[in-house]
Structure 1
């Protein structure tokens, strides 16, 4: 029984890490999470969806958007570190919004 719990937790962490790898990785993580439904993986799937959408919107704005995208890179690194450590770390400022807006994921 304990091995099953550890396997599920490890799967959730793996899915969370995959979600950090580009849009294709996020889609793969979303599909994988539909099979096992890990709360940890769902948390990071929502966080990464929000960060990716912000990056897309900011990419359309010349210069200022590109500079702000560097800030998003820092937020992505912070999110990745949280996922690697097995901690649910909200993205500063907007993480709560991402969890609320994308709660269906």
Structure 2
């Protein structure tokens, strides 16, 4: 991937991490150009968003402040890691779950 492709995809890569609506906006805007850098970050952000909702549903039923804070800190770090990768123009796979997201959503951006 050349630097021009990365530079063109940085903005939508960043938008992808701004809630699930941002992911949808980036997805539809990337449909025309099929920028591989943006597609990578869309897959990462979509996976994070869906995982956040699934685990958040379970955590909210536990009614424990310690579990809730750990959940928020964990996902904040993962989102910030993804945002940092999008801003700096790197294809940083999110720790622990990033490879799974790339495999599950591999059809996005193809």
Partner of 1:73: 76
Offset, 1:31: 0.5
Highest relative contact order (Cα 8 Å, sep 6+), 1 or 2? 2
1:29 paired residue among 26, 31, 40: 26
Query: Which runs of 5 or more structure 1 residues have no equivalent in the other structure?
Result: none
Kept in 1, the 8 Å contact 2:13–2:41? The answer is: yes
**TM superposition outliers: structure 1 runs of 4+ over 6 Å:** none
Kept in 1, the 8 Å contact 2:47–2:101? The answer is: yes
The number of aligned residues is 100
Quick one: distance in 2 between partners of 1:65 and 1:58?
A: 10
Quick one: distance in 2 between partners of 1:30 and 1:95?
A: 18
Partner of 1:44: 41
Q: Does 1:12 align with 2:20?
A: no
Quick one: distance in 2 between partners of 1:65 and 1:35?
A: 39
Offset, 1:25: 1.0
RMSD between aligned alpha carbons? 1.6
Partner of 1:102: 105
Query: Which runs of 5 or more structure 2 residues have no equivalent in the other structure?
Result: none
Offset, 1:99: 0.2
Quick one: distance in 2 between partners of 1:30 and 1:94?
A: 20
